[in-house]
C-alpha cells in the first residue's frame, strides 16, 4: 500500500508492499517501552499506497505513543490464515475482512465485541446495512464497516442516444421497455450472464424475498418463496433481452470484454469495471454512463448486494485497546471521506454519500448502497459459495424448467449446506 522511507516503522514496511506481505519491525530503536506497535492486516487492493501512507503518517503524528505496522495480505487463502491467527493469539491487532466473512470468524469465539465502541463513538445507527448487518451476530457488533461497493448499470451513452432514449430508466418497467428498444439497429440491449447470482439476489430482495431465512439460529433455503420466484422471473425476462450465456457467470467470458466490443448497450457491474472496458477499447472514453439498478417504483432503486470490508479486532490481540483507536479513525468521517474519494468507494454511512458527488459511477453506487444487503449471516455461507446451488438453479429456469420446482430443489441444497454439522 504505501509509505515513504525514513518516516516510521509502518512507512518502511509499506515501501515493500508491492513485493510481498510486509513483516513487522516492532519498536524502532530509541522509542522505549512507552511506544506501542499496532499490527494491522489490510487486504491487497483495498486501499492505495498513498492512502495507507497518509493515514499512517497522520495517525502516528497525532498519537505519539503508537506506531502502525501495516501488513498486506492476499485474498487467496485468507480465511484459514485469519482463523489460525484468532486461535493462536500471536496474530495482528486489527484485521480487514470481507463483510460476509465476519460470521465465520465470530463463530470461533475469537473476536472482540465492539458494540460499545461502535455505538458510542462511531454513530452505528447510520451505517450502511449491507456492511453493518453482517458484522453483527446475536446482538454483538464484531465487525466495524469500512467501505462498500455494489453493482450499478454501466451503459453506452451513444447507443442510448441512437435509440432515442434521453435518460436512464427509473423503474423496472421502463428499464425493460428501454432495453427492448435498444435491441434494434444491430445493438444488444443488455449483456447479462445466466448465473450472475449477486444481481439475482438484489431482485429477490427487492421483491421482499430472501436467499435463506433464519429462525432460532437455523438457516433454511428460501428460493422457493413466491417473492423469491418473482425475483427470478424478472431476472429471466431481463436476461432474455440479450445474448448472455445461460450456463455461465459474468466472468465466463468477462463481461467487460463483451461490452468493450461496442455494440452492447448495458451491463450490470461495479463502476470500476469501466476502467477495464476503456483499457480494452479506448474509443469508448467519454461514452460510458452509470445509473443505479432500477427498482419496482421510481421512489427508490433496487436492492443490491453490498460487497466490501469490515474491520475486526481479535479477542486475544496484544494491543486491542490501541487497535480500537485505529478502527475509530479508519471508520470515522475524515478517513472515510479520504478513502471514498481516493478509491471511489461508498463510505460506511449514508450521510457521507455526498463526499463522492461529481463522480457519476460512485454516486450511482452510493444511491444503490442505501438499499444494500449482504448474504445470509451464517458462518457456513462460505460453504454455499464453494459449490453454489443458486447458479445451476438459475440456468435451469433460464433453459425452461419450472421455476417453482427448480427453486424447491435449490432451496433444499442450500439448507443442506447451511445446517450445523
17-41 per-position pLDDT tens digit: 333 333 333 344 444 458 999 999 9
Mean pLDDT value of segment 305-318: 94
Confidence of residue 123 (pLDDT cuts 50, 70, 90): confident
Widest CA span in the chain: 73
- Indicate whether 266 and 179 sit together in one domain: yes
Contact assessment for residue 230 and residue 299, using Cβ atoms and an 8 Å cutoff:
no
- Indicate whether 259 and 221 sit together in one domain: yes
The strand pair at 266-269 and 152-156 is best described as antiparallel
At 386 the three-state DSSP class reads: helix
Domain of 226? 152-305+378-418
- Indicate whether 204 and 191 sit together in one domain: yes
Number of helices (H) and strands (E), helices first, in the chain?
18, 13
CA atoms within 13 A on the CB side of 348: 32
- Indicate whether 63 and 205 sit together in one domain: no
Higher pLDDT, residue 92 or 124: 92
- DSSP H or E stretch at residue 70: strand 66-73
- Indicate whether 265 and 394 sit together in one domain: yes
Judge whether residue 332 has pLDDT over 90: yes
In angstroms, rounded to a whole number, what is the distance separating the alpha carbons of residues 130 and 373? Answer: 4
Structurally, the chain folds into a number of domains equal to: 2
- Indicate whether 170 and 289 sit together in one domain: yes
What pLDDT score does 421 carry? 58
Residue 2 lies in a domain: no
- Indicate whether 212 and 247 sit together in one domain: yes
- Indicate whether 340 and 192 sit together in one domain: no
- Indicate whether 144 and 259 sit together in one domain: no
Residue 369 CB-density burial (10 A; 0-12 exposed, 13-18 middle, 19+ buried): buried
Residue 3 lies in a domain: no
- Indicate whether 103 and 222 sit together in one domain: no
CATH number of 202's domain? 3.40.190.10
CA atoms within 13 A on the CB side of 46: 26
Higher pLDDT, residue 133 or 173: 173
What pLDDT score does 351 carry? 83
At 169 the three-state DSSP class reads: coil
Residue 4 lies in a domain: no
**Average pLDDT along the chain:** 89
Specify the length of the chain in residues: 421
Confidence of residue 420 (pLDDT cuts 50, 70, 90): low
Confidence of residue 288 (pLDDT cuts 50, 70, 90): very high
What pLDDT score does 331 carry? 94
Residue 122 lies in a domain: yes
- Indicate whether 126 and 166 sit together in one domain: no
Q: Which of 373, 388, 409 is the last residue of a domain?
A: 373
What pLDDT score does 352 carry? 85
Residue 417 CB-density burial (10 A; 0-12 exposed, 13-18 middle, 19+ buried): buried
- Report the DSSP beta bridge partners of residue 304: 372
135-169 pLDDT tens trace: 998 889 999 999 999 999 999 999 999 999 999 99
Residue 95 lies in a domain: yes
What is the model's pTM?
0.81
Contact assessment for residue 246 and residue 398, using Cβ atoms and an 8 Å cutoff:
yes
- Indicate whether 66 and 138 sit together in one domain: yes
Amino acid at each position: 500500500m504505501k509509505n515513504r522511507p525514513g518516516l516510521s516503522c509502518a512507512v518502511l514496511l509499506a515501501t515493500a508492499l508491492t513485493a510481498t506481505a510486509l513483516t513487522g519491525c516492532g519498536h524502532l530503536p530509541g522509542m522505549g517501552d512507552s511506544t506501542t506497535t499496532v499490527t494491522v492486516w489490510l487486504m491487497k487492493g483495498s486501499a492505495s499506497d498513498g492512502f495507507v501512507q497518509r493515514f499512517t503518517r497522520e495517525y502516528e503524528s497525532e498519537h505519539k505513543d503508537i506506531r502502525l505496522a501495516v501488513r498486506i495480505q492476499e485474498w487467496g487463502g485468507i480465511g484459514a490464515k485469519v482463523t489460525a491467527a484468532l486461535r493462536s493469539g500471536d496474530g495482528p491487532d486489527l484485521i480487514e475482512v470481507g463483510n460476509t466473512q465476519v460470521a465465520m470468524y465470530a463463530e470461533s469465539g475469537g473476536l472482540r465485541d465492539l458494540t460499545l465502541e461502535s455505538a458510542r463513538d462511531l454513530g452505528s445507527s447510520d451505517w450502511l446495512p449491507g456492511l453493518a448487518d453482517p458484522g453483527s451476530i446475536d446482538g454483538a457488533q464484531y465487525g466495524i464497516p469500512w467501505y462498500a461497493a455494489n453493482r450499478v448499470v454501466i451503459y453506452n451513452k451513444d447507443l442510448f442516444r441512437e435509440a432515442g432514449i434521453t435518460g436512464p430508466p427509473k423503474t423496472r418497467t421502463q428499464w425493460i421497455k428501454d432495453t427492448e428498444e435498444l435491441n434494434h439497429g444491430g445493438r444488444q440491449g443488455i449483456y447479462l450472464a445466466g448465473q450472475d447470482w449477486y444481481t439475482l439476489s438484489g431482485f429477490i430482495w427487492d421483491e421482499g424475498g430472501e436467499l435463506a431465512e433464519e429462525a432460532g439460529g437455523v438457516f433454511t433455503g428460501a428460493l422457493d418463496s413466491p417473492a423469491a420466484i418473482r425475483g427470478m422471473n424478472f431476472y429471466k425476462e431481463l436476461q432474455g433481452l440479450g445474448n448472455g450465456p445461460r450456463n455461465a457467470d459474468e466472468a465466463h467470458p468477462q463481461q467487460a470484454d463483451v461490452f468493450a466490443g461496442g455494440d452492447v448497450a448495458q451491463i450490470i457491474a461495479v463502476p470500476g469495471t469501466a476502467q477495464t472496458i476503456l483499457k480494452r477499447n479506448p474509443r469508448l472514453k467519454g461514452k460510458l454512463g452509470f445509473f443505479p439498478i432500477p427498482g419496482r417504483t421510481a421512489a427508490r432503486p433496487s436492492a443490491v448486494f453490498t460487497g466490501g470490508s469490515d474491520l475486526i479486532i481479535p479477542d486475544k490481540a496484544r494491543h486491542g485497546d490501541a487497535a480500537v483507536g485505529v478502527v475509530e479513525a479508519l471508520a470515522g468521517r475524515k478517513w472515510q471521506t479520504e478513502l471514498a474519494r481516493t478509491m471511489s468507494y461508498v463510505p460506511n454511512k449514508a450521510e457521507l454519500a455526498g463526499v463522492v458527488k461529481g463522480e457519476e459511477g460512485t454516486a450511482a453506487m452510493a444511491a444503490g448502497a442505501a438499499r444494500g444487503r449482504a448474504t445470509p449471516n451464517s458462518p457456513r455461507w462460505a460453504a454455499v459459495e464453494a459449490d453454489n446451488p443458486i447458479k445451476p438453479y438459475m440456468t435451469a429456469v433460464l433453459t425452461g424448467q419450472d421455476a417453482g420446482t427448480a427453486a424447491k430443489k435449490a432451496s433444499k441444497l442450500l439448507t443442506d449446506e447451511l445446517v450445523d454439522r
